[in-house]
């Protein structure tokens, strides 16, 4: 009888220990599962952020600028922008869809002295346009409605940028000297906002009528030329 009771007590003890082990195992499994879930939650935002960063690097946004066409060829267009930059955009030689100019909205094509609204994808860093693509142009109306005056102004800007004083002299009805063009004066002309510069009753002024010094442009025998240097 005593042996039977002893065996019964031992059996109950063993069952109790098994139950505790099962509870401990279940608790450990639940903790591990929670940790894994927490780890998954913490990595998901990182993955999402990485994906967003990767998408941003593709630079698919479109930038639109306005200016005046001051030089153009079959594969290149140069504009003087509203913020005073001279930017040259180049059409890819392979004429790929991304490198080709879209000029279908220009009534007169890339005509010198015309206002233009130019859109592109990619980047322009300073005056470096090598990363710009998908260039689309359409007509825009500058303050000065005389394209010939703007064309001549563009020639003057390009000559000053190149420090080509021989060409500059050929664009003038008055005698000019290199010493007339100080660094500050040259900078004020080549960085002017040609798009918003007005044509006044007294002529067209670079960089502006109120600026001193300035170049005065006028029309002689149907040709726009430099008619004055005002200090």
pLDDT confidence of residue 100: 86
Mean pLDDT of the chain: 82
User: What's the pLDDT tens digit per position in 1-19?
Assistant: 444 433 344 444 444 544 4
Q: Which residue is associated with the tokens 């500058």?
A: 142
User: What's the pLDDT tens digit per position in 176-218?
Assistant: 999 999 999 999 999 999 999 999 999 999 999 999 999 999 9
Q: What fold, for 62-139?
A: OB fold (Dihydrolipoamide Acetyltransferase, E2P) (2.40.50)
**What is the chain's length?**
231
Sheet holding 203-206, edge to edge: 199-200, 203-206, 214-220, 223-230
Q: Which residue is associated with the tokens 């703007």?
A: 150
User: What's the pLDDT tens digit per position in 50-96?
Assistant: 433 333 344 669 999 999 999 999 899 999 999 999 999 999 766 56
What are the domain boundaries of the chain?
A: 62-139, 147-230
Q: How large is the average pLDDT for residues 109-134?
A: 96
What span, in angstroms and rounded, lies between the C-alpha atoms of 176 and 168? 8
């Amino acid at each position: 009888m005593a042996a039977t009771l002893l065996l019964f007590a031992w059996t109950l003890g063993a069952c109790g220990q098994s139950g505790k082990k099962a509870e401990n195992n279940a608790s450990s499994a639940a903790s591990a599962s929670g940790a894994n879930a927490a780890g998954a939650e913490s990595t998901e935002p990182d993955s999402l952020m990485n994906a967003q960063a990767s998408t941003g690097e593709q630079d698919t946004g479109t930038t639109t600028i306005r200016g005046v066409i001051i030089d153009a060829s079959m594969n290149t267009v140069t504009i003087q922008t509203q913020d005073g930059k001279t930017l040259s955009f180049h059409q890819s030689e392979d004429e790929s869809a991304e490198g080709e100019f879209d000029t279908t909205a220009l009534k007169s094509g890339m005509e010198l002295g015309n206002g233009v609204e130019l859109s592109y994808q990619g980047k322009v860093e300073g005056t470096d346009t090598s990363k710009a693509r998908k260039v689309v142009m359409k007509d825009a109306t500058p303050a000065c409605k005389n394209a010939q005056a703007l064309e001549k102004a563009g020639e003057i800007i390009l000559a000053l940028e190149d420090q080509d004083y021989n060409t500059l002299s050929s664009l003038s009805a008055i005698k000019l000297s290199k010493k007339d063009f100080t660094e500050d004066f040259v900078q004020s002309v080549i960085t002017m906002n040609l798009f918003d510069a007005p044509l006044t009753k007294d002529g067209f002024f670079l960089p502006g009528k109120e600026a001193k010094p300035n170049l005065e442009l006028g029309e002689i025998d149907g040709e726009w030329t430099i008619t004055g240097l005002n200090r």
